[in-house]
């Protein structure tokens, strides 16, 4: 697929949360429910196993046109034919990742501070992930949470697609999207759900409704 991407409901996988369920099946269930992008995150997976898992997932996602993004591991993304890579501030520098992946693959970058956001805004990175919006148990190495006011400030600082991660759930999703985010990334709200498909559908409905309200408000002001 090309560089176009629907960021609205972005699933980040965590095999530690899926109990005894198969990861690929769980992801496909979530996609049926409305997940629009998938990031495969495997922090301790051997390269060969990671490539096999990513290649299998990429094949299964092909008909849905949902992009597969690999967390951190550029060589895995290349070997599996994934759509892109997501990197953090401590990973390989962005410009080196771009030179390895070429111009057509998607690269996302996590930003934890406004200074990092301003620096990233000067690059051609495809999207930015503000981390975290709230404190969360699934990521223990995060900085000070942005909060809703922080998301609004970040939105005013860049035209790039913005998503946010960290403590996002169906209770706070509408207020997060109202800050101008292009989407949200979720881990436990889907991976740990009894029905990933139902959980994704409920979240996707909330996002769809608030985007409809935002579009209506824009049209009213025109």
- Give 217: exposed, middle or buried? Use CB within 10 Å, 0-12, 13-18, 19+: exposed
Asked if 41 is an active-site residue, the reply is yes
Contacts of 208 (CB under 8 A, 6+ apart): 8
Question: 15 catalytic, yes or no?
Answer: no
Of these residues, 8, 36, 110, 129, which one is catalytic?
A: 110
Burial of 43 (0-12, 13-18, 19+ CB in 10 A): exposed
Contact criterion met (CB below 8 Å) for 118 and 97: no
Catalytic residue among 8, 15, 36, 41: 41
Residue 125: how many other CB atoms lie within 10 Å: 20
Which one from 60, 98, 139, 201 is the annotated catalytic residue? 139
Burial class (CB in 10 A: 0-12, 13-18, 19+), 35: buried
Among residues 67, 65, 13, the alpha carbon closest in space to that of 43 is found at 13
Q: Phi-psi bin for 88: left (phi > 0), alpha (psi -120 to 50), beta?
A: beta
Q: Which residues are catalytic?
A: 41, 110, 139
């Amino acid at each position: 697929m090309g560089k176009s991407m629907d960021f609205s409901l972005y699933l980040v996988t965590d095999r530690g949360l899926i109990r005894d369920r198969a990861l690929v099946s769980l992801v496909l269930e979530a996609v049926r429910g409305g997940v629009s992008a998938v990031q495969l995150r495997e922090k301790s997976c051997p390269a060969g196993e990671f490539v096999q898992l990513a290649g299998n997932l990429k094949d299964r996602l092909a008909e849905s046109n949902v992009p597969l993004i690999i967390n951190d591991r550029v060589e895995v993304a290349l070997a599996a034919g994934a759509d892109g890579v997501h990197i953090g501030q401590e990973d390989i520098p962005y410009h080196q990742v771009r030179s390895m992946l070429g111009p057509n693959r998607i690269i996302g970058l996590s930003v934890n501070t406004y200074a990092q956001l301003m620096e990233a805004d000067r690059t051609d990175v495809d999207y930015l992930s503000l981390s975290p919006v709230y404190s969360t148990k699934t990521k223990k190495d995060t900085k000070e949470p942005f909060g809703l006011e922080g998301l609004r400030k970040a939105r005013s600082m860049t035209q790039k697609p913005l998503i946010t991660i960290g403590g996002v759930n169906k209770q706070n999703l509408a207020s997060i999207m109202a800050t101008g985010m292009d989407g949200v990334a979720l881990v436990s709200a889907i991976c740990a759900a009894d029905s990933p498909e139902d959980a994704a559908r409920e979240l996707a409905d909330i996002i769809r409704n608030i985007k409809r309200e935002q579009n209506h408000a824009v049209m009213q002001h025109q």
